[in-house]
């Protein structure tokens, strides 16, 4: 058994999974999510900005401490849409490796989809996985995968409150795909499940509420209150995917790309003798 850490440096959230991995099984120890909005402004500027980077680094400092306390032997930090779109993305990952001792990996859209599938595990025939991120959305089956440049942060920044334009943007990206069921592995789906709104009818009610509510009202009902300003765009993506596939509901998954990253982390070489000891990592 190997205790590992997996970190997702996402466009909207920075997430941590600490897990015990043995014989291809991932047993969760701790899972954390912080809304850090690393991709703020990336769609327009194509750069990671200083304030979002500082937010992520503060969270990584806490994650580094918890990983040490829990005895994780190695950690893999994966980076997705915001980092791959940013001109300074690779430099940011270099700083993360130097500052915290994490192994980092910048994923292409195809690799992101493949790692999500590995984390979720074998699918029943006819199942499509959707992963609504902040910068991109993946649609995945056992034999097909695509990563589209539509996400909750990107759509919010691009279209503001023009939801008709945002919906048209989503529809323009959706591929020809057949499905019998849709499984969501993202924060948007988790929020819909918590609101008991995983059907098209429930989603319509949530969108009506989101469009008419205040930020305070949204924050009071969400699992992740800091998602309040982009959650409508995420729900809109889920709705358009369901309509496109001719389905009525989405099912949340307990496993996601972090489970796949944990399996990858377990396969990393063991830390070399003489590596920096716990507490040697810096935060800034």
Nearest of 96, 95, 104 to residue 75 by alpha carbon? 104
Q: What percent of the chain has pLDDT over 70?
A: 95
User: Residues 121-169: pLDDT tens digits?
Assistant: 999 999 999 999 999 999 999 999 999 999 999 999 999 889 999 999 9
For residues 88 and 85, give the distance between their C-alpha atoms in angstroms, rounded to a whole number: 9
Q: Dihedrals φ, ψ of 143, to 5°?
A: -120, 0
pLDDT average, residue stretch 55-81: 97
For residues 36 and 9, give the distance between their C-alpha atoms in angstroms, rounded to a whole number: 9
Q: Can you give the pLDDT at residue 276?
A: 56
Task: Give me the residue spans of the domains in the chain.
Answer: 2-109+257-266, 122-252
Q: Do domains 2-109+257-266 and 122-252 have the same CATH topology?
A: yes
What is the chain's length? Answer: 284
Q: Which two tokens stand for residue 148?
A: 């589209």
pLDDT average, residue stretch 245-264: 97
**CATH code for residues 2-109+257-266:** 3.30.420.40
Nearest-10 Cα torsion for 188, 242, 174, 162? -60
User: Residues 4-53: pLDDT tens digits?
Assistant: 999 999 999 999 999 999 999 999 999 999 999 999 999 999 999 999 99
Alpha helices, DSSP H, located in the chain: 42-45, 50-70, 81-85, 89-100, 109-120, 152-159, 163-173, 187-194, 200-212, 215-221, 231-245, 257-266
Handedness of CA 255, 258, 264, 266 (dihedral sign): negative
User: Residues 116-133: pLDDT tens digits?
Assistant: 999 999 999 999 999 999
122-252 is a CATH 3.30.499.10 domain: no
Q: Can you give the pLDDT at residue 161?
A: 84
Specify whether the CB–CB gap between 80 and 13 falls below 8 A: no
User: Cβ of 33: how many Cβ atoms within 10 Å?
Assistant: 21
């Amino acid at each position: 058994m190997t205790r590992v850490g997996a970190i997702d440096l996402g466009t909207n959230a920075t997430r941590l999974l600490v897990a015990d991995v043995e014989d291809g099984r991932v047993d969760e120890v701790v899972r954390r999510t912080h809304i850090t909005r690393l991709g703020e402004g990336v769609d327009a500027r194509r750069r990671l900005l200083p304030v979002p980077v500082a937010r992520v680094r503060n969270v990584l400092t806490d994650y580094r401490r918890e990983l040490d306390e829990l005895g994780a032997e190695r950690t893999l930090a994966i980076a997705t849409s915001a980092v791959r779109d940013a001109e300074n993305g690779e430099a940011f990952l270099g700083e993360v490796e130097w500052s915290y001792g994490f192994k980092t990996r910048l994923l292409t859209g195809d690799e992101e989809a493949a790692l999500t599938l590995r984390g979720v595990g074998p699918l029943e025939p006819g199942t499509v996985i959707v992963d609504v991120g902040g910068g991109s959305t993946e649609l995945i089956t056992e034999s097909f995968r695509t990563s589209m440049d539509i996400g909750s942060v990107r759509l919010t920044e691009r279209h503001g409150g023009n939801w008709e334009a945002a919906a048209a943007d989503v529809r323009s990206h959706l591929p020809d795909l057949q499905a019998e069921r849709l499984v969501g592995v993202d924060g948007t789906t988790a929020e819909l499940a918590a609101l008991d709104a995983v059907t098209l009818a429930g989603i319509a009610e949530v969108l009506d509420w989101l469009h008419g509510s205040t930020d305070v009202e949204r924050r009071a009902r969400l699992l992740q209150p800091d998602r309040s300003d982009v959650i409508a765009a995420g729900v809109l993506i889920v709705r358009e995917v369901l309509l496109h596939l001719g389905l009525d509901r989405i099912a949340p998954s307990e496993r996601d790309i972090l489970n796949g990253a944990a399996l990858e982390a377990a396969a990393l070489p063991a830390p070399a003798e003489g590596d920096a000891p716990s507490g040697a990592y810096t935060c800034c």
